[in-house]
Amino acid sequence: MLSEVQTMDFGAFAAIGAGLSAIGAGIGIGLIGGKALEAMARQPEHYGMIQTNMFITAALVEGVALFGIVVALLK
């Protein structure tokens, strides 16, 4: 029984982890973009600052997602 557990392949779990990481990043970047557009509509004079902060935050979210995918695929 113990030897069966040791020979189990966890590749499917790695693929699920990579997929969840990508889905989470997509949702996060979508929320960032939507809220940034909402903020720009409310405060058009702060357009440049909001846009800069949006791009920085989206890049950080994408970086975290990339780490999640790499870790999941390394098994």
Domain count, the chain: 1
Using a pLDDT cut of 70, give the percent of the chain over it.
Answer: 87
- For the chain, first and last CA: distance in Å? 23
DSSP state for residue 43 in the 8-state scheme: -
7: pLDDT confidence band, cut at 50, 70 and 90? Answer: low
Give me 58's structure tokens: 């989206």
Chain mean pLDDT for the chain? 88
Q: Is residue 21 part of a domain?
A: no
Are the C-beta atoms of 23 and 68 separated by less than 8 Å? no
pTM listed for this prediction: 0.76
Q: Is residue 71 part of a domain?
A: yes
DSSP string, 4-21: HHHT---HHHHHHHHHHH
CA–centroid distance for 25 within its chain: 2
Task: State which residues form the domain around 65.
Answer: 29-75
Q: Is residue 8 part of a domain?
A: no
Write out pLDDT tens, residues 8-35.
677 788 888 888 989 999 999 999 999 9
Q: Which amino acid appears at position 66 of this protein?
A: L
